[in-house]
Amino acid sequence: MQISVKELSKLLQGEVIGDENALLHTVAKIEEGQPGALSFLANPKYEPHIYTTQSTAVLVNRSFIPESAITTTLIKVDDAYQAFTFLLEQFANVGKGTAGVDKSAVVEVNAKVHSSTFVGALTYIGQEAEIGEKCQIHPQVYIGAGVKIGNNVTLYPGVKIYHLCTIGDNCIVHAGAVIGSDGFGFAPLPDRSYKKIPQTGNVIVEADVEIGANCTIDRATMGSTVIKKGAKLDNLVQVAHNVEIGEHTVIASQSGIAGSTKIGKYCVIGGQVGFAGHITIADGSQFGAQSGIGGNITQTNGKWFGSPAIELRQALKAGVVYRKLPELEKRVQELEKLLKEIK
């Protein structure tokens, strides 16, 4: 697709500084710009690249004032990052299939699939499953019996959704994710072996949730594991049975949440963070990468870091001391030597 700077600016209600007749046909990072490409500048860290970029045009905030000469054309908008995201949403439709069910897919006779939905090759849709309007069900997806899927849902190749789970409107589930597998529930026996506890619940994923590749979300022992509206899970996140993740919480890769833990809304969780089971995390909590949380967090909007996690400012102070430990050890040894000599 090709579009002029003038047309694009009109679409974004922007202001052009430079050649409004220049043509754009692709997008690129500002540091990897090329002729015909559109880039954006939102983070001041990348400002040096705008003076050397080869991109034909760059989206910038209206407040941006260059410090030296610029050869690229600027399109000034209220929020460059949001504008660029909007453009990607409008034009990034690669890989979408047209409505209809591939002849190699298996749809049980009492399942319901809306006529506007695409179902890819070798997909299985179980008994009494229901799939709403304008969904994209890519090849090799498994949808178990009684699963309910809302409108405009995208399931990428290899997604597995076990029986009786529910997926809300506008959700995206990436390749290899498993939703509704058994929770890790085993009762210890006198002989030190374990008896499996039946996992009779389900998983409820509310609207506007995105689940990354190879995530695993376990079904509840009883009741439901719940991922609330607008939550975003990166790749390789583990959510155990009966967990509840609050609205618009974001969780980075390789984090794990043990059973029955309740995560509040608007939380920000870094990579490889671990939560113990049966705890409650307050709304707006933020956790640095590799933090370990073993107890309740009751303070809203707090920042935490470390394992075990402590308040961020304390963690940073403790880190300074930790780095000085070799030097402190050496000084202690020297003092001990002096004391021995005095004695």
Query: Is 241 one of the annotated active-site residues of the chain?
Result: yes
**Largest pairwise CA distance in the chain:** 93
- CATH class held by domain 3-91: alpha beta
User: What would the pLDDT profile of 262-309 be if each residue is shown by its tens digit?
Assistant: 999 999 999 999 999 999 999 999 999 999 999 999 999 999 999 999
Which residue intervals of the chain bear CATH 2.160.10.10?
100-315
* pLDDT of amino acid 4: 94
User: What would the pLDDT profile of 81-129 be if each residue is shown by its tens digit?
Assistant: 999 998 887 766 656 778 999 999 999 999 999 999 999 999 999 999 9
Residue 340 pLDDT level (bands cut at 50, 70, 90): confident
- The yes-or-no verdict on residue 343 having pLDDT over 60 is yes
Residue 256 pLDDT level (bands cut at 50, 70, 90): very high
Choosing from 114, 241, 248, 278, the catalytic residue is: 241
d(CA 232, CA 337): 57
* pLDDT of amino acid 46: 96
* pLDDT of amino acid 89: 77
* pLDDT of amino acid 2: 87
User: What would the pLDDT profile of 156-215 be if each residue is shown by its tens digit?
Assistant: 999 999 999 999 999 999 999 999 999 999 999 999 999 999 999 999 999 999 999 999
Question: Which residue, 152, 145, 146, is CA-closest to 168?
Answer: 152
* pLDDT of amino acid 1: 67
> What's the CATH architecture for 100-315?
3 Solenoid (2.160)
d(CA 200, CA 182): 9
User: What would the pLDDT profile of 215-244 be if each residue is shown by its tens digit?
Assistant: 999 999 999 999 999 999 999 999 999 999
Q: Residues 318-330: what's their mean pLDDT? A: 90
* pLDDT of amino acid 87: 86
Which residue intervals of the chain bear CATH 3.40.1390.10?
3-91
Q: Residues 133-149: what's their mean pLDDT? A: 97
Question: Which residue, 294, 291, 317, is CA-closest to 304?
Answer: 291
* pLDDT of amino acid 15: 96
Question: Which residue, 46, 56, 50, 47, is CA-closest to 8?
Answer: 56
All residues at 6 or more sequence positions from 179 whose CB lies less than 8 Å from its CB, including other chains = 159, 160, 161, 162, 165, 167, 173, 203, 205, 211, 217
Q: Residues 21-34: what's their mean pLDDT? A: 94
d(CA 130, CA 125): 9
Residue 342 pLDDT level (bands cut at 50, 70, 90): confident
